[in-house]
């Protein structure tokens, strides 16, 4: 069985878009390094206000990773939406994929009924997972398009 944890937190990264992107690169790079060591996969959705993340892996590793993440000063008030055992991974090839909410991906949000700001306290884990899977698919096709163009 795979353990799956979905949480949200308030983004406290200061500064404009550039600072945000620099911080996110650092977070994703540390995540990919640690998660590949620990067998953790998942997806991180974020905008200027919120983070919503899915972590999946062995139970002890997921708990340990979440405990480390929850203490990070770059966000606050981490709140678990759902914690459960599942039969397989949903993001097997992503040690941690991430998607910032930009106008480019707004269409994907609209398809999931998110026209306005995210209200994570009202989100169900299935909504988060379905949105993350479509953001992942969008990212995969964007990267394939870039490869074809080069």
Residues that bind ligand FAD (CB under 6 A): 23, 26-27, 30-31, 34-35, 44, 51, 53, 65, 68-69, 72-75, 96
Between CA 109 and CA 47 the distance in angstroms is 12
Nearer to ligand FAD, 72 or 139 (CB): 72
Instruction: Report the 10 Å Cβ neighbour count for 129.
Output: 18
- Minimum separation from the CB atom of position 134 to ligand FAD (A): 20
- Minimum separation from the CB atom of position 98 to ligand FAD (A): 9
Between CA 99 and CA 106 the distance in angstroms is 11
- Minimum separation from the CB atom of position 150 to ligand FAD (A): 29
Nearer to ligand FAD, 78 or 149 (CB): 78
Four-point Cα dihedral 121, 74, 83, 112, nearest 10: 50
């Amino acid at each position: 069985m795979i353990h799956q944890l979905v949480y949200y937190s308030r983004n406290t990264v200061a500064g404009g878009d550039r600072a945000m992107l620099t911080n996110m690169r650092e977070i994703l790079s540390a995540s990919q390094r640690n998660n590949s060591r620990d067998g953790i996969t998942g997806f991180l959705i974020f905008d200027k206000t919120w983070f919503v993340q899915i972590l999946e892996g062995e139970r002890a590793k997921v708990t340990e990773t979440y405990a480390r993440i929850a203490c990070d000063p770059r966000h606050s008030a981490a709140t678990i939406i759902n914690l459960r055992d599942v039969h397989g991974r949903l993001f097997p090839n992503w040690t941690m994929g991430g998607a910032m909410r930009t106008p480019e991906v707004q269409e994907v949000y609209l398809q999931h009924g998110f026209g306005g700001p995210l209200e994570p306290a009202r989100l169900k884990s299935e909504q988060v997972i379905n949105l993350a899977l479509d953001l992942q698919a969008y990212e995969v096709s964007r990267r394939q398009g870039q490869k074809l163009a080069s």
